């Protein structure tokens, strides 16, 4: 017999019928009664202890751990080939102290979020986060984040192929109370395939898709603004579409996929990549301030930030692939009512991209164990 204790399934002392002696009906009944009473006692407690009612996952495509933890890279910010002086990036973001630099780059993240939760991936402090897929590019990374495992043989390109694997978004969309309450907003138009919108039934608003909930102005701007990349919209639009949907439809599980950091890095525009990271930090601020000022979300929402892959070191920052060393290194940050602030020391260890999906489900009270390859739950910062 299995009784649900918190987020784990724990075997109880009750033996199955076939192991009990013949005629032991009374003992069996007593044991069953105990188990039922125990279950009744345990379940409401577990629900009371877990305060997460909603989860928001935000990804910043290919934002390196180096920038997150140490701010702008001295090898790149002083090189006018990557950071032309007129970008103003050197003046605004450079200082000799790495902790000051990271606060200049992502002030909301470091001043308001980090002191409250879990930030993993500072390799200088012994906190290692890696992807487990061999490819080191986007579709395999997002699939690993959302499905909870690498599938190197089948997920090996960025082509618009429907994901054969179920993601945690699809799994949650099938759970009682969550059906129709799971949605995704992404800048990149491959996400409807990664999340397999057609099979999963999860609303995926990607690239220049219109959305009635977003209102006429945003929908018109989306069509009228210049679009610098094929199949990618500006992150500001993705962000505002997601916010409008949050306000009007009140999803319980929301995924937001930003993309500009990766696009500018591929163009070898380090200064512009830095500006994109700074803007994204401000979008996260706007999102989190809405969450924390809104009934039903305040102190009931867990926010998870991460990235699909890393990038090369130094001048190789523009690239990521299986040949690029460093592109396997990522970071994960988690904040919410069920997470305690952890120090550098407690964030030390080895963690993996494939652990995010199970953690998301567990925070909502579900056991995401539909595939044996799914990574273990992240327990850092949990009581
Ligand atoms: Zn990517």
Q: Please calculate the CA angle 153-158-162 and round it to the nearest 5 degrees.
A: 75
Query: Separation of 266 CA from ligand 1 center, angstroms?
Result: 10
Residue 232 DSSP one-character state: B
pTM for the structure as a whole: 0.88
CA of residue 354 relative to chain centroid, distance: 11
d(CA 196, CA 124): 37
Domains of the chain, start order = 2-47 (no CATH), 53-363 (3.40.720.10)
Contact 353, 141 (CB under 8 A): yes
Query: Separation of 32 CA from ligand 1 center, angstroms?
Result: 52
The dihedral formed by the CA atoms of 286, 305, 65 and 381, expressed in degrees to the nearest 10: 120
Query: Separation of 114 CA from ligand 1 center, angstroms?
Result: 24
pLDDT tens by residue, the chain, 383 residues: 333 333 333 333 333 333 334 445 555 555 555 554 444 444 444 555 899 999 999 999 999 999 999 999 999 999 999 999 999 999 999 999 999 999 999 999 999 999 999 999 999 999 999 999 999 999 999 999 999 999 999 999 999 999 999 999 999 999 999 999 999 999 999 999 999 999 999 999 999 999 998 999 999 999 999 988 999 999 999 999 999 999 999 999 999 999 999 999 999 999 999 999 999 999 999 999 999 999 999 999 999 999 999 999 999 999 999 999 999 999 999 999 999 999 888 899 999 999 999 999 999 999 999 999 999 999 999 98
Contact 233, 187 (CB under 8 A): yes
Query: Separation of 80 CA from ligand 1 center, angstroms?
Result: 25
Q: What tokens appear for 253 in the block?
A: 């599980």
Query: Separation of 60 CA from ligand 1 center, angstroms?
Result: 8
* pLDDT at residue 115, rounded to an integer: 97
* pLDDT at residue 29, rounded to an integer: 54
Query: Separation of 139 CA from ligand 1 center, angstroms?
Result: 7
Provide the H-helix boundaries in 19-94: 25-49, 65-70, 74-77, 89-93
Query: Separation of 8 CA from ligand 1 center, angstroms?
Result: 33
d(CA 168, CA 93): 37
Which SS3 state, helix, strand or coil, does residue 275 take? helix
Query: Separation of 234 CA from ligand 1 center, angstroms?
Result: 15
Query: Separation of 110 CA from ligand 1 center, angstroms?
Result: 23
* pLDDT at residue 227, rounded to an integer: 85
Query: Separation of 150 CA from ligand 1 center, angstroms?
Result: 15
Task: Look at the alpha carbons of 333, 83, 91, 272 in this order and tell me if their dihedral is positive or negative.
Answer: negative
């Amino acid at each position: 017999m299995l009784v649900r204790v918190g987020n784990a399934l724990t075997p109880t002392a009750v033996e199955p019928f076939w192991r009990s002696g013949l005629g032991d009906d009374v003992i069996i009944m007593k044991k069953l009664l105990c188990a039922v009473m125990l279950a009744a006692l345990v379940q409401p407690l577990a629900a009371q202890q877990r305060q997460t009612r909603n989860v928001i996952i935000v990804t910043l495509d290919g934002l390196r751990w180096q920038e997150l933890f140490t701010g702008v890279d001295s090898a790149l910010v002083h090189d006018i080939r990557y950071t032309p002086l007129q970008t103003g990036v050197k003046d605004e973001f450079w200082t000799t102290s790495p902790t000051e630099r990271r606060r200049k780059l992502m002030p909301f993240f470091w001043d308001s979020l980090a002191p409250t939760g879990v930030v993993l991936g500072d390799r200088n402090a012994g906190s290692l986060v890696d992807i487990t897929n061999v490819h080191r590019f986007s579709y395999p990374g997002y699939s690993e984040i959302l499905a909870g495992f690498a599938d190197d043989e089948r997920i090996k390109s960025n082509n618009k192929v429907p994901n054969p694997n179920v993601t945690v978004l699809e799994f949650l969309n099938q759970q009682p109370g969550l059906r129709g309450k799971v949605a995704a907003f992404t800048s990149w138009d491959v996400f409807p395939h990664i999340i397999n919108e057609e099979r999963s039934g999860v609303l995926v608003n990607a690239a220049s898709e219109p959305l009635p909930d977003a209102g006429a102005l945003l929908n018109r701007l989306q069509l009228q603004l210049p679009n610098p990349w094929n199949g990618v919209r500006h992150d500001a639009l993705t962000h505002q579409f997601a916010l409008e949907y949050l306000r009007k439809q009140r999803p319980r599980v929301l995924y937001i996929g930003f993309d500009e950091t990766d696009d500018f890095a591929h163009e070898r525009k380090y200064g512009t990549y830095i500006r994109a990271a700074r803007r994204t930090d401000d979008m996260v601020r706007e999102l989190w301030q809405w969450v924390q000022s809104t009934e039903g979300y305040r102190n009931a929402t867990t926010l998870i930030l991460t990235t699909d892959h890393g990038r090369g070191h130094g001048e190789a920052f523009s690239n990521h692939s299986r040949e690029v060393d460093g592109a396997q290194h990522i970071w994960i940050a988690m904040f919410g009512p069920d997470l305690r602030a952890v120090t550098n020391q407690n964030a030390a260890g080895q963690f993996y991209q494939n652990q995010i999906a199970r953690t998301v489900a567990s925070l909502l009270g579900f056991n995401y164990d539909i595939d044996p390859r799914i990574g273990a739950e992240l327990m850092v910062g949990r009581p």
